[in-house]
Amino acid sequence: MQRLIVAVALFLPIALNAQEAQNAALAFTRIDRNPRTSAFAGAGLASTGASAWSAVADAAQISFLEGLGDAALGVQLWQPTNEVDKTTNFGGGAAFRFGSFGVGLAGAYQKGVPFGGYTPNDLLISLGASYNILDVVSVGLNARYAAQHLTQTAKVNGFSADLSVIGRILPQLTAAISVGNLGPKVKASDASFGQPAYLKLGAAWNQTLAEKHTLEILLDGEYNFGSAAAGAIGLEYNYGRFVFARAGYRLAGEKALIPSHLAFGIGAQFAGFRADVSFLTASKLLGNTLNIGLGYNF
């Protein structure tokens, strides 16, 4: 475990070179398109629930998958009532576990409002891999490519990576650490911009309250290098692993890339199939964003 902590620490100087998050390039990579975790308003780093979206970030989760794999598709309606800033985002991913090893692939494409005969668009492709040590600690690495086309001439792209570690302290308690969006500066015209690097810490407590009644409490803390700190709390109640109710709140500093907001969500699962919806509100930037997704765990 000490070696893992040292490895994470070695990545920190790279992240410290990032510029302020609000001026960072490819900031859209920080958007959570997962309809389950987005209902926690930014919490969930240490949650080990099956997730096809793990390849986008926090790949260490893949080695804790229940079953052999998980696949999902989703649609995000960002600020759907804002005729200027709204975007429609399509995404999906799959994760597979082979004993102690896990691999994943995820991607997203989003398009904005047409302007001057051109439609702004973003593309994200991410690979993830993880390794589970004695069913107690999982180490994950993500590698992603992102491209953003704001106009026909304003186009940027770049590569970045995340390193994440999840440890099972007790059967009901997990803790996690992640350093993300580590990559070279992105050039745009005659200027260069850092990517929105961050450090996150998380904890998750899963408790069976009574037969078929389970509650998970999620706590995350985050620091965006060169910018602001943020914290989030999320709750998930499920009945018989069939019906799920979720909620979360994020409190963020003024310069944080993802602002303070409330989130709510519901889900249903049967025979491996699931459907999830989340709603993000109480923020001008998020503007009542809606996430809808379908998935299958096998």
Query: pLDDT value at position 177?
Result: 97
Query: pLDDT value at position 275?
Result: 97
- Residues in the chain with pLDDT < 50? 1-22
Query: pLDDT value at position 10?
Result: 35
Query: pLDDT value at position 60?
Result: 95
Domain that holds residue 214: 2-297
**b/e per residue 20-33 (b: at least 16 CB within 10 A):** bbeebbbbbbbbbb
Rounded CA-CA distance 10/17 in Å is: 13
Question: If DSSP states are collapsed to H, E and C, what string results for the chain?
Answer: CHHHHHHHHHHHHHHHCCCCHHHCCCHHHHCCCCCCHHHHCCCCCCCCCCCHHHHCCCHHHHHHCCCCEEEEEEEEEECCCCCCCCEEEEEEEEEEEECCEEEEEEEEEEECCCECCECCEEEEEEEEEEEEECCCEEEEEEEEEEEEECCCCCEEEEEEEEEEEEEEEECCEEEEEEEEEECCCEEECCEEECCCCEEEEEEEEEEEEECCEEEEEEEEEEEECCCCEEEEEEEEEEECCCEEEEEEEEEECCCCCCCCEEEEEEEEEECCEEEEEEEEECCCCCCCEEEEEEEEEC
Query: pLDDT value at position 218?
Result: 97
Per the structure, the count of domains in the chain is 1
Query: pLDDT value at position 51?
Result: 81
Query: pLDDT value at position 13?
Result: 34
Query: pLDDT value at position 222?
Result: 94
Read off the CATH number of the domain in which 270 is found. 2.40.160.60
Its pTM stands at 0.87
